[in-house]
Amino acid sequence: MTSIAADPADSVFVRACLGEPVEHTPVWFMRQAGRSLPEYRELRAEAGLSMLEACRRPDLVTEITLQPVRRHGVDAAVFYSDIVVPVAAAGVGVEIVAGTGPVVADPIRSTADLARIGRAEPADLSFVEEAVRMLIPRLEGTPLIGFAGAPFTLASYLIEGGPSKTHAKTKALMHGDPHLWHGLAERLAQITSTFLRVQIDAGASAVQLFDSWAGALSEADYRRFVLPHSAAVLQDIGPVVPRIHFGVGTAHLLTAMAEAGADVVGVDWRTPLDQAAALVNVADLRLDGGEPGPARTRAVQGNLDPALLGAPWEVVDHEVRRVLAEGEAATGHVFNLGHGVPPEADPGVLTRIVELVHKISVR
């Protein structure tokens, strides 16, 4: 029962992001294009390419992005790429290691290291533009979500040299050398803005800014070191399409993340959506600490626990209904998981979730 609009801007997904009336709650899944699908694994094996190489092939990106739309009937496609793609285009030596994630050969530890990061120009990302333009007609009205990593999460990879559970080196640099930190974050904000604008200009109907590791920070540190740079990205791309902002473990940061300027705040599985809706719909605060600005109404996205995909169907059914009920407290709700689809997830369960959401959320 996926609602296909002739114009993606009038799709149920885009309207829900903007808090407008919809026929049913739209649903898509973070990481829906990728590891959980056997057709994806088969395609990657046949191509024999690394993750980054696959992300630079418009034909592969197009096919992989389309796979979950065909299989699940989701209300939006998400562009198949990786958050380090624009960083690599800016000259950073990074590779995506299977089972590990992004690994940086020479981590950023000093001001001199900052000079190694160039500016990502649209021409450096021409393969992204080509892929999006190839995708749009084949999506036949299904909106495409572009995405990028937020400055803090990208900086964490560059400073740590790879994934980290504690982000200790990142926090130490942030506090020990604020000048270097802000210089790095400003450069990454420029790279991220360019990456998102290329996708928007080529036809993406919405974008999501992932700050996957922001939950590792206190609210004070987030406001001082991160919020200005995420806000710069969201303000730079402007309100031309809905902007979604998501992080993991960010219950204590939801109000601050909303202030960065997104239209939709993604919520992980730890926070009920009715509580999240109250937290993100408060008067905006000026980033310079001045008087509150006018209140804004934001939609929420989420937030089924991905671990439940392996539970008996009656458990999944109950939890989907709970999430939908809690989402009714928000002006707009986009159903999603509270994080990405695990690689071991049964695709059939995802398809059943889409069908269930569409069935029981009919207005």
- Which residues have a catalytic role annotated? 31, 35, 44, 82, 157
Contact indicator for 150, 211 with CB cutoff of 8 Å: yes
Contact indicator for 323, 334 with CB cutoff of 8 Å: no
Cα 318 to the center of its chain, rounded Å: 26
Is the peptide bond prior to 336 cis by the omega test (within 30 degrees of 0)? no
Which residue, chain included where needed, has tokens 């009656």? 314
In terms of DSSP H, where are the helices of the chain? 12-17, 38-47, 51-55, 58-72, 85-89, 111-114, 126-139, 151-160, 168-176, 178-202, 219-221, 227-237, 254-259, 273-280, 313-327, 347-360
Task: State which H helix or E strand residue 165 sits in.
Answer: none
Which residue, chain included where needed, has tokens 């120009």? 121
Q: Which amino acid is at 117?
A: I
CA dist 345 and 201 (Å) reads 33
Contacts of 271 by beta carbon, 8 Å cutoff, 6+ apart: 251, 254, 279, 303
Cα 141 to the center of its chain, rounded Å: 21
Contact indicator for 281, 331 with CB cutoff of 8 Å: yes
CA dist 157 and 105 (Å) reads 11
CA dist 75 and 16 (Å) reads 11
Contacts of 178 by beta carbon, 8 Å cutoff, 6+ apart: 225
DSSP-based helix, strand, coil % in the chain, nearest 5: 50, 10, 35
Biggest CA-to-CA distance, the chain: 57
